[in-house]
Structure 1
Amino acid sequence: MKRTALLSAAMTVPLTVGVLCATGTASARDLTGPPHAVRDLYGTKTPYAPQERPSHYQKPPKGFSPVFTENVARHGSRAMSDGEDGEAVLALLRQAEQQGALTDLGGELGPQVQSLLDAASALGYGNLSARGAQEHRETALRMEQRLPSLFGRIAAEHEPIVVETSGVARTVASAEAFTRGLTAGDPALAGVIKAPVTDKNLLYFHKQPQNADYQAYLAGDPAAAAVLAGIDADPRTAEAAHRVVARLFHGDFVAALPAAAQVSFARSLHQLFAAAPDLSVEAPGVDLSRFLAPRDAQWFAYLDDAEEFYQKGPGFSGRTITYRMAGVLLDDLLAEARAKADGSSDKGAVLRFTHAEEIEPLAALMGLPRSTEPAEPGTPYTYRNNPWRGADVSPMGANIQWDLYANKPSDGKPASHLVRMLYNEKETAFKASCKPVTRGSHFYDLNELEQCLGHR
């Protein structure tokens, strides 16, 4: 949601908002994999970091070995979609400069913003960054290292590795980076990796005609519009924005700047702040952390998370409009696993590359941890009352991986098949209605998953 009209009048919606609380702060960015408190400053623009060490993973039950793997991954870190926020920030900085109203700190902001815009423009707005490519290469290498016997068999038996994307350039580039990671680990895999194919119904479903009801929800659902307007109108938004501009501009200039313009400027600045780590290679000298105090950055990240929550996440209790469309992707995960198990597929792996608009609904539909708790009508989503965080649910490069294990047929019985799920490379239980093979195990019978996930 763009907010770049710096001198526009404020629009308010009469709505009583419950107590909002953003908990925790951080003093600095950590571009190599920020801890939880720091990641709360960046929302869904948080660069990717694996969430568990393989040494902590459970061993499969005795007699079972991996026979297939599949994933769904968000594209990696990228340039911002356009230069609108940067141009808006620069416009107000130029106005202040002409009036001699920049503080010393404010005078340092313009060159930083311009450098970020130049880097994004040179890369191509919206395109995968070098950091994003590295995220996927390294994720692929870790996948291969976790499953050496599987990938050895894939190469030896020439089992196809199928690659699917939304067709958007950053997902295609992410797929290319991922497969380069696989071949860097084992060059023999190059001969079995298939050319990427585009499947928009599967990996860009939020924009397809069959989901016109969801698009109508985004365009003008009264309840969603009211709750988001009410969250934005919380007094802490204006207070945070005022603190931001007061550090950058002298008092008279700030006093003459309408509250709506202050909020618009501060939110645009936060968008740039959140985007900068994703371009750490292309714009290595850009550091916008000095221009936003951590508590203010976290407040604006919360506002962005609220939009994600109501537009792509679990949303309102009793309504499924924001995530039921992800059923097509869940069905595909189950179908590919079943096809491998019953012998109708010779694929060794299926790799899918998509967007936050698909990952967040899928996480909600599957009941993944911290991804599924909706908000009650009249009680807006906050960091205090709900665990949903964009940095956890769908950071750049977010991924859900299913590994299929089989044992050998014996005594005339067919092989059994188990599934282990990784969410951002952390062993993750399926929802509570799904029963693992033993208490506390992360391995589930495929038949059980087909029943408990409701898509048999």
Structure 2
Amino acid sequence: MPAPALRRVRAGLAAVALGALVAGIAAPPASALGTEPDNRYSSKQPYIAPTTDDIAAYQPAPAGYRPLATESVARHGSRGLSGYKYDALLRRMAETAQAEGGFRSPEIGAALLANIDALTAANVENGYGMLTGQGAAQHQGIGARAYQRNAGLFAAAAAHKDRIVAETSGEARATESGENFLRGFTAAASGSRTPSADVPLESRPDLLYFHKVENPDGTEKAVGSPERIRAQAYEDYIAAQTGDGGTISAAMDYIESLPASVSSAEDVLSGIFTPAFIAAIGTDAAHRWYNTANGTKGGPRACAPGADPVVDPDACGDPKKSIKTPVDAAMTLYNLYIIAADMEAENVPPHAFDFSPYFAGHEADAQWFATLLDAEDFYEKGPSLAGHDDTYRVAQPLLDDFFSVIDARAAGGDVAATFRFAHAETIMPFAALLHLPGSTVQAPDVPAPASPADVYGTATNPWRGSLVSPMAANVQWDAVQRRGVDPSTKKPWTPLVRMLVDEREVPFRDGCTPVAPGSHWVKLTELKRCLSGIPTPESPLLDGPGRR
């Protein structure tokens, strides 16, 4: 649990942002990172809230249609380090450098050690892997805007005693995100008629933690269940593809061996360590570091100083993690640099830290390191290899649930809103399944890549972690319906749906025909056809002829 002082800092940051939103004015930015994703941060990019212009650009529903339902899935908000890993490894390496005179100066060494220790202390106080102050503020803002965008829906829902449903993967940071979303929703709705958002978050690892057989609480998906079969198939595919002889393994080996990896590592490390020390990394046991208490392979368990492993098991490291090359060392430092962007509220005395000087003037190197992280996520969680859908087919049940929620509501159900909270491992495959912006291009399926054209690369592929799955990334669907019977189908009017990605309205994928040219609204039957291959005789156009 966070200490009282840090809880006050986190609450203060979230309250300032939330208060501004509820007052109807733009919240002060939680970060000075600008209004566009910064490709240096990969998927650790802090969430960028929509501008007033983004919100003003939302298209109204066609005449005669009324709000029916809204639903979403979101990644957890900004968090700290997921475990005692990068900070532990870099400290073991820094201790060796200090003992051997491997820093460019004693002052540089002392500063690096102090920054590592401060970052570790901040994570111990906040809890490894837990939501930070930024993360709380991000989801409170998203929740507030979800209410404001659909205030009419919620007023009508309150009159009919309809409900709000909230679901979580079961992981603590996802649950925290949902709690803060609902807190923001409630504050924005204060004084208005709306269904109660004081609802428990239902744990749905089957739907929101579909990538692993083991659930966040340590249980496993039921033997023989569809969700276990899917998770096992995904895990088996990734194990085969990333193991010896796997195409993804070959692609990653090729990308990581490119000259930019070595040169970027040397560029960054040379500002901290001596050339002799950099050259020694990985050459013998004394210059290979493992995530153990003494840095040796098979050494005693490493836990963050001051942490209680019973309360925070993530504060103890995985001993298999290591630094064996200069690229490993630079990537370890880079991972501390990018997580710092998500810990602004925690970056305060007595544990203030600053990793930005190590990358000052090395922005291109940071972007290359982001490319290395992006490549791994792209191959294992995103569009991946041409001709394969194994990495994103696993998200199909989530898409089915999006459809089911609207079907149930249109059939007279009492759930007006469904809000889901999960992870990058949920959002990335879902984005690929939906062909969302940035998730439309696969990489060549080349078992033995021989050129950059054979693998993922930023020159030929738009996929970026900072775009596809920043912290608090979200996909929201709003559904509307017209009363009465459609004379062309002799059935109730089919609901229409529009989509927001990170609260910006975007069209559905190519091949999904909107109800009119230029519209972002699409019939539910058309979405089922173009996204899931379910045929329909109904015209996608309003008042249009049926399909032939």
1:195 corresponds in structure 2 to 200
Q: Is the 8 A contact 1:86 1:113 kept in 2?
A: yes
Say yes or no: does 1:72 pair with 2:73.
yes
2:380 corresponds in structure 1 to 311
Q: Report the residue type matching 2:342 in the other structure.
A: D
In structure 2, how many angstroms separate the alpha carbons of the residues matched to 1:224 and 1:363?
A: 20
Aligned residues: 426
Instruction: Say which of 354, 370, 380 aligns to 1:287.
Output: 354
Q: Is the 8 A contact 1:155 1:192 kept in 2?
A: no
Tell me by how many angstroms 1:102 deviates.
2.0
Say yes or no: does 1:266 pair with 2:292.
no
> How big is each residue's C-alpha offset from its partner over 1:152-199, in whole Å with a ceiling of 9 and x where there is no partner?
223333211001111111111111000001111114547354311111
Higher mean C-alpha displacement, 153-162 vs 323-332:
153-162
Q: Report the residue type matching 2:508 in the other structure.
A: F
Tell me by how many angstroms 1:127 deviates.
1.2
1:432 corresponds in structure 2 to 510
Instruction: Say which of 403, 422, 426 aligns to 1:354.
Output: 422
Q: Is the 8 A contact 1:106 1:247 kept in 2?
A: no
Tell me by how many angstroms 1:415 deviates.
3.6
In structure 2, how many angstroms separate the alpha carbons of the residues matched to 1:159 and 1:115?
A: 48
In structure 1, how many angstroms separate the alpha carbons of the residues matched to 2:533 and 2:408?
A: 14
Matched position secondary structure for 1:108: helix
Computed over aligned residues only, the root mean square deviation of the Cα atoms, in angstroms, reads 2.0
Matches within 5 A, 1:224-243: 224-243=248-267
Matched position secondary structure for 2:470: coil
Instruction: Say which of 441, 444, 453 aligns to 1:373.
Output: 441
In structure 1, how many angstroms separate the alpha carbons of the residues matched to 2:332 and 2:420?
A: 32
Q: Is the 8 A contact 1:244 1:296 kept in 2?
A: yes
Tell me by how many angstroms 1:121 deviates.
1.6
In structure 1, how many angstroms separate the alpha carbons of the residues matched to 2:411 and 2:530?
A: 19
In structure 2, how many angstroms separate the alpha carbons of the residues matched to 1:212 and 1:164?
A: 23
1:153 corresponds in structure 2 to 156
Matches within 5 A, 1:166-245: 166-187=169-190, 189=194, 191=196, 193-208=198-213, 209-210=228-229, 211-221=231-241, 222-245=246-269
1:448 corresponds in structure 2 to 526
Matches within 5 A, 1:6-405: 31-36=31-36, 39-51=38-50, 53-103=54-104, 104-187=107-190, 189=194, 191=196, 193-208=198-213, 209-210=228-229, 211-221=231-241, 222-258=246-282, 260-284=324-348, 285-292=352-359, 293-343=362-412, 345-378=413-446, 379-405=454-480
Q: Is the 8 A contact 2:73 2:420 kept in 1?
A: yes
Q: Is the 8 A contact 2:178 2:201 kept in 1?
A: yes
Q: Is the 8 A contact 1:183 1:190 kept in 2?
A: no
Q: Is the 8 A contact 1:400 1:421 kept in 2?
A: yes
Gaps in structure 2 of 5+ consecutive residues: 1-28, 214-227, 284-323, 447-453, 535-548
Q: Is the 8 A contact 1:158 1:192 kept in 2?
A: no
> How big is each residue's C-alpha offset from its partner over 1:273-323, in whole Å with a ceiling of 9 and x where there is no partner?
111111111124333121122111111110000000000000000011101
Sequence identity, in percent? 38
In structure 1, how many angstroms separate the alpha carbons of the residues matched to 2:126 and 2:264?
A: 32
Q: Report the residue type matching 1:201 in the other structure.
A: D
Tell me by how many angstroms 1:428 deviates.
1.2
Q: Is the 8 A contact 2:161 2:195 kept in 1?
A: no
Tell me by how many angstroms 1:135 deviates.
0.6
In structure 1, how many angstroms separate the alpha carbons of the residues matched to 2:355 and 2:81?
A: 15
In structure 2, how many angstroms separate the alpha carbons of the residues matched to 1:283 and 1:308?
A: 28
Q: Report the residue type matching 1:149 in the other structure.
A: G
Q: Is the 8 A contact 2:167 2:201 kept in 1?
A: yes
Q: Is the 8 A contact 1:43 1:301 kept in 2?
A: yes
In structure 2, how many angstroms separate the alpha carbons of the residues matched to 1:411 and 1:93?
A: 71
Q: Report the residue type matching 1:282 in the other structure.
A: E
Q: Is the 8 A contact 2:164 2:195 kept in 1?
A: no
In structure 1, how many angstroms separate the alpha carbons of the residues matched to 2:195 and 2:67?
A: 20
Tell me by how many angstroms 1:268 deviates.
0.5
TM-score normalized with structure 1 length: 0.89
In structure 2, how many angstroms separate the alpha carbons of the residues matched to 1:410 and 1:179?
A: 35
Matched position secondary structure for 1:41: helix
In structure 1, how many angstroms separate the alpha carbons of the residues matched to 2:281 and 2:503?
A: 46
Q: Is the 8 A contact 1:46 1:391 kept in 2?
A: yes
TM-score normalized with structure 2 length: 0.74
In structure 2, how many angstroms separate the alpha carbons of the residues matched to 1:411 and 1:439?
A: 21
Q: Is the 8 A contact 2:162 2:195 kept in 1?
A: no
> How big is each residue's C-alpha offset from its partner over 1:24-68, in whole Å with a ceiling of 9 and x where there is no partner?
xxxxx99345454x6211111111113552112222211222221
1:23 corresponds in structure 2 to none
In structure 2, how many angstroms separate the alpha carbons of the residues matched to 1:81 and 1:323?
A: 24
